[in-house]
Amino acid sequence: MRKVLAMMLALVLALSVLAGCTNGGNSGNKPADNQTTEAAQEGDQSAAEKAIADRKASGNMPTVTICFGNFAGKPAGVDRIGAAMSKITEEKLGIKVELTIDSIGALSQQMNLDLASGNAPDLFNGLLGGFMSSVNAGYLYDLEEDGLIDTYGAGIKECFKEIELNGCRVNGTLYGVPVKKDDAAGMFGISIPAEYLDTIGYDYASKYANEGDEIIYTDLDEIEGILTQLKEAYPDKTTFFMDATSVMSQCLEIDNIGNDYFGALCDPCNSLEVTNPFEDEKYYELCRRMYHWNHDLGFFSMDAATTDVATTVQVKSGSLCAYKTATKPGIKQQESNLCGMPVIIFQCGPDFKKASTYGTMPWVMNHATEDPIASMQVLNELYTNPELMTLMCWGEEGKEWKLAEDGQHITFADGVDAQNSEYYNNTNWELPNQFIAKIWEGDELTLWDRMQKFNDEARTSKAMGFTWDNSDVSNEYSALTNVYEEYRKQLELGFVDPDVVIPEMVERLKQAGLEKYMQAKADALKAWADAQ
Amino acid sequence: MKRKSVGEEGRFQILGNIIMILLSLAAVIPLILLLISSFTDDSALVRNGYSFFPQQWSAYAYQYIFTSGNSLTRAYLMSFVLTAIGVVVGLAITTLLAYGLSKKFLPGRGVITFLVVFTMLFNGGLVPTYMNYVNVFHVKDTFFGLLLPGLLMNAFNVMMMKSYFVSGVPDEILEAAYIDGANEYQTFLKIAFPLAKPIVATIALFIGIGYWNDWMNGYVYLSKATHLYTIQNLLNRMMQNIQFLQQNSSTISGANTGLASIPAVSVRMAMAVCGILPIVVIYPFIQNNFVKGITLGGVKG
Amino acid sequence: MAAINKEKLTPAKRKALVKRSIPIYIMMLPGLIYLVINNYMPMPGIVLAFKKYSAKFGIYRSPWNGLKNFTYLFSTPDALVITRNTILYNVAFIIINLIFAVAVAIILSELTGKGKKFYQSVILLPHLLSAVIISYLVFAFLSADNGFINNSILKPLGKEPIGWYDNAKYWPFILVFVNLWKGIGYNCIIYLSTILGFDRSYYEAARIDGATKWKQITKITLPLLRPTIIMLSLMAVGRIFYSDFGLFYQVPRNSGALFPVTNTIDTYVYRALIEQGDITKSAAAGVYQSLVGFVLILSANLLVRKLDPDSALF
């Protein structure tokens, strides 16, 4: 046996030397960036222009690869769209681009492997591979290295306020650029088909505060009344349902800094104090209300915690009366489309913007990108060139879309629909700047102006610009996640009595290191606040 | 005396058949449910749950699968080609290695056996394996990306086969052949291999199922080469999207839209049916040949 | 033959041995090359478990991190629960699967009718379903609102519907059952093929002696099966710290109320790393699981070698 072990050891050693050699070559052979330094010394605009001119003069076009995920797999037209995009960037920037689109689930798995093995694309949505974990593994390029973004990404900087960009800053380093999207969310929105409200004789038309509003602002007592009537009118349908994983994030004005609730700002617009949200009165109230709705009034399906059928699909099939959603401008149209019938949107909480909103799915640059300047210039173009963004969002004119009759909206090209289109991803929310792309028929032309206003006017967390890096307390994080997962659905969907179970959960969280984790979070937040 | 044993034999046959019928029912009933739900109208499925007697039939799920995106026929073809090549190559190297390990006189046999078993316990992990295959052997987006990683041979199969060679193929027969002047290759081909047919058929089946069921290799090693998708790759990508969205639904505002745009329950069921249907159709034929092989191998001594 | 190694070899014998061995080595070569490519070349990646990974340096040049990547597996109050669940389920699976697989293999081998082939292929089918699909099928039976058990069995009996996914007490049985259901057709194949390889003359002799079926099974089949049973069990012992992720995560639908009986090392690691995606920590979990399996398999093998040298793995 000893002989066997010795041989094995020798083999492993020999192999590790071998592997060490082959892999060593991959690291550290990034091209020297003296070009960048040189360029940065000249004037901003001219440096960018000079880079383009140099590239065109040399006739040496770098290729920048761009990647994002959708839900249907590689679209048939992706190469054609990529070529069309490349035509624009070749002409304007002297850079070729290559577009890759695949199923988001497969891509996010591959992205981790590709980043580790040096095969990843230059630009991609940080959602693939996870933004924070990519940062911690050193996969992402520092966008401010040698003034990269200032020199070559001026257009990007115009799209965002400094504080918004800071949402992608980790420990002071800028690793990404946010996407233009709904940054705030209307808390505790409820969507109910108009038809059902008509049946119970609820006069929703008179409830809007202003003519032409899309949301009725109300409170949970009013909703409870409506749901009670719906339950009577439709005893066979489930009265109410929430997606179990987003209850806290879409119902309560609590800022879960860093996307975990183990220490959060429970009064986020006024105070930077990190407290335990599970002991907060807001959480108790929510859980008690849900317990009342589920246990006492029977609004929920018994399968609420285990079903994986999307809420809107349930409504469409006629098995559900009402559900929770996060609201935003355009929500009424969106939910009506998804449900296949007109819905009325209620909202019981404020519009609220979390500190983490800009860091959820930023566009990032691969640390091993061959030509950072070219990548940054392409990224800049994606944020500023409407033609390019329209291509990326909707495909080519005449092939995928055509101008609608009003001459401003766009719609499916002749003979094309969502099923047979060669490029219909329906994932514009993860693209850099859908605000400058053309607007699809059905949405208002002013949608993005309203969205910008909504983002600007929402109640904003005081921690805006802070990102939480939990790598020092990741053991506690693992333990805490497992405990919370055990209780969350039961509590937040009202299957168990919160006055009994919340204290039990808090006790277990404390055993799992809640206090240590919260303290680390509070310290980091304080250090950040002091530096502001 | 004779009558008694017939009676007992008869009782055994009856009891055995009853047990097997019960087990078969347990296996088949859920599969029938699978088939029926794939033909159920999706709204009815969401509304009433799964049912053996659906309120509303619909072939939408199959329409969806056959019309959307990648070609199903092509994916089937890929699956068959992959499985066939995988079985032939895998079986060859597994059998040869196992045969060698069964030779008690072979110097270094213990060490090699240990090295084989060791791979069953320890592995380098996904990232190093990926780097090895992609950066050293460049299998990304090639057929080899489906064929090579993980599935071709594993320690379990080698050890099973080795143990069969040791116990089921008597040394005396092999030695006799050797002494009669046959060389090692001939002894293996003419005597050991035919005697090992039951296990050869079994391992072939294991390798075949491994390739047929695998989606991970396509998931990891294919990104641009969608023409290489096997049927499982095609079907599983959608499942993985669902899981991704469920994980991220608290952070992605578009998750709800995404979940709603993913084909519904009946389609997932139809995909599963598409995945196992060919096996149901083809397996009896394969089995026929296997059983012939096995019985041939079994008659000896 | 077995004694050859231990004898002092004469030069002539040694030469003959080498001459015989070379063709064997050549036959083994393709398999060994595959093991090197597929298993041993990535094997050094195990060091990842002990590194503080940074893409800048790559796997092998990243700084060492001691045993820090392992601590999350033990620092949780749930450590005991997940270890207990993993081990107990595996022990149950090993024993129950063994008994059923051997029984079914014996029955199938003794059946004479036409049904035999049909049974064999039908019970294999569940093995071809993915865990996600199995989770849907299980849900079809156990769903609280629409499930067959609640609607078609309990309701007509006038019993209250059961929230299957809220009650942890049922799940050890459900999981063992699902595992058995999924695996029985596959697991019995190996025993079946082994039995079919047995020398039929033993049975004929026994029949002539008037041995009953039961006697034939216990006195001939089972003893002949022993090496196979021991070997399969030994290999299963090596994987005792692993768990079938799909079975413990997908099938119970990630229901929190069931965690006390469904949380295993693999599901714990998965939940812990969803957000963090830390490759060093998942590597650490793998090393931990492998190491325990390694120690167990070595000790078990040692024991087997004492009791029954022919059945030992190596």
Q: Mark out the alpha helices in A372-473 (DSSP H runs).
A: 372-384, 386-394, 447-457
CA distances from B144 to A103, A118, A239, C183 (A): 22, 20, 52, 29
Question: Residue A393's closest CA among A428, A362, A429, A343?
Answer: A428
Facing residue for B96 by CB, picked from C28, C38, C125: C28
- Whole-angstrom distance, CA of residue C190 vs CA of residue C1: 27
Measured between beta carbons, the chain B residues lying within 8 angstroms of C37 are 132, 137, 148
- All residues of chain C having their beta carbon less than 8 Å from the beta carbon of residue A308 are 253
Q: Where is pLDDT greater, at B203 or A46?
A: B203
Say which CATH topology domain A182-357+459-532 has.
D-Maltodextrin-Binding Protein; domain 2 (3.40.190)
Asked if B7 reaches chain C (Cβ–Cβ under 8 Å), the answer is no
Burial of C15 (0-12, 13-18, 19+ CB in 10 A): exposed
Over the Cα atoms of chain B, what is R_g?
Answer: 24
A87/A94 Cα distance (integer angstroms): 9
Give Cα separations from C189 to A64, B202, C106, C185 (angstroms): 52, 7, 11, 7
Kindly state whether residue C161 falls inside one of the protein's structural domains: yes
Best to test chain A binding among C166, C167, C250 (most A CBs inside 10 Å): C166
DSSP conformation class of A318: T
Alpha carbons A359 and A469: distance in angstroms, whole number: 12
**Could you write out the DSSP letters of every residue in chain B?**
-HHHHHHHHHHHHHHHHHHHHHHHHHHHHHHHHHHHHHTB-HHHHHHH---SS-SSB--HHHHHHHHSSS-HHHHHHHHHHHHHHHHHHHHHHHHHHHHHHT-TT-TTHHHHHHHHHHHHH----HHHHHHIIIIIS--TTSHHHHHSTTTS--HHHHHHHHHHHHHHS-HHHHHHHHHTT--HHHIIIIIIHHHTHHHHHHHHHHHHHHHHH--HHHHHH-SS-GGG--HHHHHHHHHHHHHHHHHHTTT-TTHHHHHHHS--HHHHHHHHHHHHHHHHHHHHHHHHHHHHHHHHHHS--
Shortest Cα distance, chain C CAs vs residue B224, angstroms: 23
**Within-domain flag for C285:** yes
Provide, as residue numbers in chain C, all residues whose Cβ is less than 8 Å from the Cβ of A368: 55
Nearest to B247 by CA among C171, A367, C277, C113: C277
Residue C39 within any structural domain of the chain: no
Count residue pairs from A and B with Cβ separation < 8 A.
156
Identity of the residue in B46, B118, B254 whose CB atom sits nearest the CB atom of A317: B46
* CB of B247 closer than 8 Å to CB of B167: no
pLDDT band at B262 (very low <50, low <70, confident <90, very high): low
Q: What is the rounded CA–CA span in Å between residue C189 and residue C166? A: 36
Chain B residues in contact with C300 (beta carbon < 8 A):
none
Q: Does any domain span residue C64?
A: no
- A481 at the B interface (CB within 8 A)? no
**Residue C69 domain-assigned?**
no
ipTM: 0.88
Report the residue of chain B nearest A359, measured CA to CA: B251
Nearest neighbour of C4 by CB, restricted to B105, B119, B279: B105
* Chain B residues whose beta carbon lies within 8 Å of the beta carbon of residue C286: 123, 125
Cα distance between residue A450 and residue A466, in whole Å: 26
What's the domain count of chain C? 1
Mutation target vs A (from B115, B253, B259; most A CBs, 10 A cutoff): B253
- Residue C296 structural domain: 79-311
Interface test with C, best of B99, B127, B287 (most C CBs within 10 A): B127
Chain B within 8 Å of A118 (Cβ-Cβ)? yes
Chain segment C46-56, per-residue pLDDT in tens: 999 999 998 88
Confidence check: pLDDT of B261 > 70: no
Query: Per-residue pLDDT averaged across B124-153, rounded?
Result: 93
| Closest chain A residue to the Cα of C47, Cα to Cα | A16
State the helix-helix crossing angle for B72-101 and B231-248, rounded to 10 degrees: 100
Spelled out in words, what is the top-level CATH class assigned to the domain A41-179+361-390?
alpha beta
Going by pLDDT thresholds of 50, 70 and 90, the confidence category of residue C310 is confident
Asked if A301's CB is within 8 angstroms of C145's CB, the reply is yes
Determine the residue of chain A that is closest to C250 in CA distance. Answer: A306
For residue C202, tell me if it sits in a domain: yes
Q: Is residue C49 a part of any domain in this protein?
A: no
Q: Are residues B156 and C200, on separate chains, in Cβ contact within 8 Å?
A: no
Residues of C in contact with A508 (CB under 8 A): 77
Number of A:C CB contacts under 8 A? 154
Please check whether residue C57 touches A, CB under 8 A: yes
Q: Do C58 and A15 touch (CB under 8 A)?
A: no
**Domain residue limits, chain A:** 41-179+361-390, 182-357+459-532
| Half-sphere CA count of C258, side-chain side, radius 13 A | 25
* β-bridge pairing A264-265 and A343-347: unpaired
Would you say residue C15 lies in a domain? no
Partner-chain residue, chosen from A4, A130, A487, that has the shortest CB–CB distance to C256: A487
Domains in chain B, please, with CATH? Answer: 70-262 (1.10.3720.10)
At residue B18, the pLDDT reads: 95
Please report the pLDDT score of residue A90 as a whole number: 94
- State the pLDDT confidence band at B53, using cuts at 50, 70 and 90: confident
CA distances (Å), origin B179, targets B165, B174, B191, B192, C25: 19, 9, 13, 15, 20
Start-to-end Cα distance in chain A: 63
Indicate yes or no: CB of C28 within 8 angstroms of CB of B300: no
Q: What is the mean pLDDT of residues B45-64?
A: 85
Confidence of residue C247 (pLDDT cuts 50, 70, 90): very high
Per DSSP (E only), the strands in chain C are: none
State which residues of chain A have pLDDT below 70. Answer: 1-45
pLDDT at position A228 is 96
Cross-chain residue pair B250–A430, CB shorter than 8 Å: no
Of the candidates B156, B188, B202, the beta carbon closest to that of C235 is on: B156
Best interface-test mutation with A: which of B42, B244, B262, B269 has the largest number of A CBs within 10 A? Answer: B244
Q: Please name the residue of chain B whose CA is at the shortest distance from the CA of residue C132.
A: B239
Q: Is the pLDDT of residue B195 over 50?
A: yes
Choose from C193, C235, C249 for mutation: most chain B CBs within 10 A: C193
Amino acid of residue B188: F
Per-residue tokens: C277: 């995606």
Q: Give the whole-angstrom CA distance, residue C92 versus residue C96.
A: 6
Q: How far is A192 from chain C (nearest CA, A)?
A: 22
Of all residues in chain C, the one with the smallest CA distance to A470 is C276
Contacts of A320 in chain C (CB under 8 A): none
Q: Which residues of B are less than 8 Å from A309 in CB distance?
A: 46, 264-265
Nearest chain C Cα to B148, which residue? C38
C279–A305 C-beta distance less than 8 A:
no
- Closest CA in chain B for residue C193: B198
Among residues 10-69 of chain A, which lie with CB inside 8 Å of chain B?
A: 11, 19, 22-23, 26
CA of A223, closest CA in chain B: separation in Å?
A: 22
Instruction: In whole angstroms, give the CA distance from residue B61 to residue B66.
Output: 9
- Compare CB distances from B150 to C30, C38, C283 and report the shortest one's residue: C38
Which chains contact A through at least 3 pairs of Cβ atoms less than 8 Å apart?
B, C
The alpha carbon torsion through A205, A209, A213, A214 (nearest 10 deg) reads -70
Predicted pLDDT of residue B258? 63
* Nearest beta carbon to residue C42 from set B31, B99, B128: B128
CB pair distance less than 8 Å for A20 and C60: yes
Probe site for chain B from C108, C186, C314 (most B CB atoms < 10 A): C314
Check CB contact of C248 with chain A, cutoff 8 Å: no
Structural Rg of chain A based on CA atoms: 26
- Give the up-direction half-sphere exposure of residue A224: CA atoms within 13 A in the CB hemisphere: 13
In this complex, which of C17, C111, C126 lies closest to B16 when CB atoms are compared? C111
Give me the CATH number covering residue C175.
1.10.3720.10
| Residue numbers of C between 68 and 97 with CB closer than 8 Å to A | 71-72, 75-78
d(CA A441, CA A394): 12
Interface test with C, best of A238, A303, A308, A319 (most C CBs within 10 A): A303
The C-alpha torsion from A131 through A137 and A143 to A147, rounded to 10°, is 160
Give the pLDDT confidence score for residue A283 in this predicted structure: 96
Pairwise CB contact (< 8 Å): B226 & A74: yes
Q: What is the DSSP letter of C64?
A: B
d(CA B145, nearest CA chain A) in Å: 14
Pairing of strands A363-365, A176-177: antiparallel
Q: For chain C, how far is it from start to end, CA to CA, in angstroms?
A: 17
pLDDT value, residue A184: 92
pLDDT at B237 over 80: no
| Model confidence pLDDT, tens digit, residues C183-224 | 999 999 889 988 988 888 889 999 899 888 889 999 999 999
